[in-house]
Amino acid sequence: MSTSSLPLANRSALVTGANRGIGRAIAKLLAEQGARVAVHFGSDQEAAENVLAELAGQGHTILQADLEDANEAAALPHRAAEKLGRLDILVNNAGIYETHGIDTLGPAEWQKSWDRTIAINLTAPSLIIHAALEHLEHSGGGHIVNITSRGAYRGEPDAPAYGVAKAGLNSLTQSLANKLAPKRIHLVGVAPGWVLTDMTESFLEGPEGEGIRQQSPLNRTATADEIAQVVLLAVCGRADALTGGIIDVNCASYFR
């Protein structure tokens, strides 16, 4: 298959949190399908450079930004469009998971963890989408995927701000899918459960791993590559009726 016949040929994508895990798998697959990719990272530049070296094709770049900083988050799409020449695809993948038990933390610690989680997992994606809008419109439309979580529905007892942020991200996805449809901008949420990545492997191989796998009738978790395949479907332009949808990818471990 020639490069020009790939489904994402001549398209450019920004993937946040792409230096490892799910983001890395998404960046690699989009590049394999012809896109130029901006690999965002927060602090691990070496990991981002390793991902950059793995990407098929040419014209990719890496971009550092602290998504807890609203100004840095809002600037990220402009920097990506400048480096890539245009912006057609945005994948808001970056996020954090911090435990903050309501019955174990004092008020100051509770608020600090709450504010940080909401800032990175919900406020930053909203700012990035807002800033990306002008570039997507300039490209004649585009695709936005927000990586959410089954925790938006089943709750996160030990990390409630995470569940709140992901529920908010689902609502943001659906609200903007309706608002931006006339501009040919399509939004989809992808909601994984547990995903086997380099970040979760040691935990899943520990004493709690078997119980986690048994949540699914498949007796396994999803893989980062499976999440990436769903993202590709959402951004390839061949299934735009998905806009406004939240796609569960949790090995039948949770239904809503």
Q: Which of 97, 153, 162, 254 is flagged as catalytic? A: 162
- 97 in catalytic set: no
Length of the chain: 256
Given the DSSP bridges, would you call strands 142-147 and 185-192 parallel, antiparallel or unpaired?
A: parallel
- For 34: left if phi > 0, alpha if psi spans -120 to 50, otherwise beta; the answer is left
92 touches 26 (CB < 8 A): no
Cα separation, 166 vs 112, whole angstroms = 18
64 touches 41 (CB < 8 A): yes
190 touches 231 (CB < 8 A): yes
Q: Which residues are catalytic?
A: 162
